[in-house]
Structure 1
């Protein structure tokens, strides 16, 4: 009986561990500072996490497909700078689709290298991280970007607007999460992404076009990055050309926290959203406790290590390896 109970608890922790961790974090920080659970604070955390969250939604597809994308931070900087620069030159109506087109072009190039040429995704996206950063600096001439007339543009609605009292960034984040969750869980394409990530060779022998599936996951990721760049540019109406630098680490942390395996084949959009919120509320809770902002970097690193460790431990059935 005790063994059955132990196995039942183990299955619950394996399937719902991220939700349990989220509740524990919320209770802990609420006890430390009652202001933590105030409605305005919770809304503010979700709103500030929306940009990271939108990027994490796209990277979830890439990771489930068995690959990595370390270029999303630099690509977000590029998207933000491009749309701000084009805003004053051709207007927001044309600047937005132009920015999406250029960003999708970068995603398609990465997808081609990883999917069709079968190059290592870690090496490709690490190289593209530097290449896109250089492209951003070249586009901006090394200068930061600002919209000239900040009071006379409707462009700010994406990052600063509200609909029925709900901030637009939250609505965009939630809307994308719902749509992408349905695509991943309810469509043949979503099932193929899981199959390719779980066992690429078996998927190929089963008739699944592995190269095309991988290519499309990078297109989805770049689309989400473009949405994040739009939110970032619209929120501040100006930006440094390094605004996305380092975000790839936080995005990957959120995706792994959500249960997506680095080995591919597992993960959900819903749990990625929970992973994003955990990171956001941890950072907010640490600040409310009076800890310096740079402590967040240490905590993020610890969380990544723990998440990877638990992911591997779950697959081998023990926390510690028997091999010295």
Structure 2
């Protein structure tokens, strides 16, 4: 008969390293990128460039926070770039037609919620795989944006209040970065300290078990796509405010950067595990790499290659190493044979 023994308690350092291995690994990689680009170019580690990185990373971080919830439920949202583009174009069209910018902003937030909830309904209540639904959404929503704009950029003129959302600063910090930080804090608290966050993790771990104990599992799944849609609306508005125009070609490849940031931050593609802090570090890492390569006069197209490699390596680490049942020194235990 096989005997089982309780896992012996490891040292505090070993326990800390085991529980935070993914966060520590991305933090070390992030710092290594900063050191590398600081040595490679004299303009990287300047205040102006750091603020520029924060401004550019803000839309990605906003959507990545929501994508973390989606992936924790073992889902995926490939349509985020198209949602951003549609909101970006429609906001410009509304303001060009004379609508007050607060009305346009509110309308786009509602539109984002409806886009996300519509996709979530097909996924949660109709049983269509998230990959298929959001892949269709990627095509439909981008096509709708192209149809509405006819492929042209729509200028936004004389709307200083709206422009402040994308170009303004508070105490020297870009407004988009402050909005992104606020959303990241809300996501962190929601995931760790609220019933909704615990339900998201439970559904991602085992949907059937969550349903059997009385959780509204289907609604939880639909709701994370609604949150994703709202985050896309915010990102689309910030991009329109920064550029002063709306375009159906906005956010091309956006979904690749968002998913890369989330998986690089350690969120499991199998569901049930994820961290907002890791997503923040992943987003900043992607932004630093893109910015640093440009400052080193490397082709911007090379950034896509680097991003793809990062996704592949991150997924490999996610599935092969961090999910493996390995032991750290001072952390013995398991089953005794």
TM (norm. structure 2) is: 0.88
The equivalent residue for 1:316 is 324
The equivalent residue for 2:43 is 35
Contact residue 187 and residue 276 of structure 2 kept, 8 A: yes
Structure 1 residue 140 displacement after superposition: 2.1
Does residue 214 (structure 1) correspond to residue 201 (structure 2)? The answer is no
SS of 2:252 mapped into structure 1: coil
Q: 1:204-232 deviations in whole A, cap 9, x for unaligned?
A: 12221110000110111111101001101
Q: Structure 2 CA distance, aligned partners of 1:283 and 1:141?
A: 30
Structure 1 residue 287 displacement after superposition: 1.7
The equivalent residue for 1:277 is 284
Does residue 91 (structure 1) correspond to residue 100 (structure 2)? The answer is yes
Does residue 107 (structure 1) correspond to residue 101 (structure 2)? The answer is no
Q: Structure 2 CA distance, aligned partners of 1:249 and 1:242?
A: 15
Change beyond 3 A, Cα 1:10–1:317: farther
Contact residue 145 and residue 241 of structure 1 kept, 8 A: no
Q: Write the mapping of 1:177-216 to structure 2, written as runs, cut at 5 A.
A: 177-216=184-223
Please, what is the CA RMSD of the aligned residues? 2.0
Q: Write the mapping of 1:195-274 to structure 2, written as runs, cut at 5 A.
A: 195-274=202-281
Structure 1 residue 5 displacement after superposition: 12
Q: Structure 2 CA distance, aligned partners of 1:15 and 1:92?
A: 39
Q: Structure 1 CA distance, aligned partners of 2:295 and 2:96?
A: 39
Q: 1:54-98 deviations in whole A, cap 9, x for unaligned?
A: 111111110111100000000000000011100122221211111
* Aligned counterpart for 2:176 among listed residues 165, 169, 172: 169
After TM superposition, the structure 1 stretch with the greater mean CA deviation from structure 2, 48-57 or 222-231, is: 48-57
Q: Structure 2 CA distance, aligned partners of 1:307 and 1:72?
A: 21
Q: Structure 1 CA distance, aligned partners of 2:296 and 2:113?
A: 41
Structure 1 residue 312 displacement after superposition: 0.5
Higher relative contact order (CA 8 A, sep 6+): 2
Contact residue 91 and residue 246 of structure 2 kept, 8 A: no
After TM superposition, the structure 1 stretch with the greater mean CA deviation from structure 2, 64-73 or 233-242, is: 233-242
Structure 2 residue runs of 5 or longer lacking an equivalent are: 1-9, 327-337
Structure 1 residue runs of 5 or longer lacking an equivalent are: 319-324
Structure 1 residue 278 displacement after superposition: 0.1
Larger radius of gyration, structure 1 or 2? 2
The equivalent residue for 1:21 is 29
Q: Which of the pair is proportionally richer in helix?
A: 1
Does residue 144 (structure 1) correspond to residue 153 (structure 2)? The answer is yes
* Aligned counterpart for 2:85 among listed residues 65, 71, 77: 77
Structure 1 residue 4 displacement after superposition: 8.7
Change beyond 3 A, Cα 1:185–1:5: closer
Q: Structure 1 CA distance, aligned partners of 2:152 and 2:108?
A: 18
Q: 1:27-54 deviations in whole A, cap 9, x for unaligned?
A: 2222223432222211111111111111
SS of 1:316 mapped into structure 2: coil
Contact residue 72 and residue 222 of structure 1 kept, 8 A: yes
Change beyond 3 A, Cα 1:308–1:281: same
The equivalent residue for 2:7 is none
Q: Structure 2 CA distance, aligned partners of 1:286 and 1:133?
A: 28
Q: Structure 1 CA distance, aligned partners of 2:77 and 2:215?
A: 22
Structure 1 residue 9 displacement after superposition: 9.3
Q: Structure 2 CA distance, aligned partners of 1:9 and 1:186?
A: 20
Structure 1 residue 138 displacement after superposition: 2.4
Contact residue 184 and residue 191 of structure 1 kept, 8 A: yes
Q: Structure 2 CA distance, aligned partners of 1:218 and 1:237?
A: 28
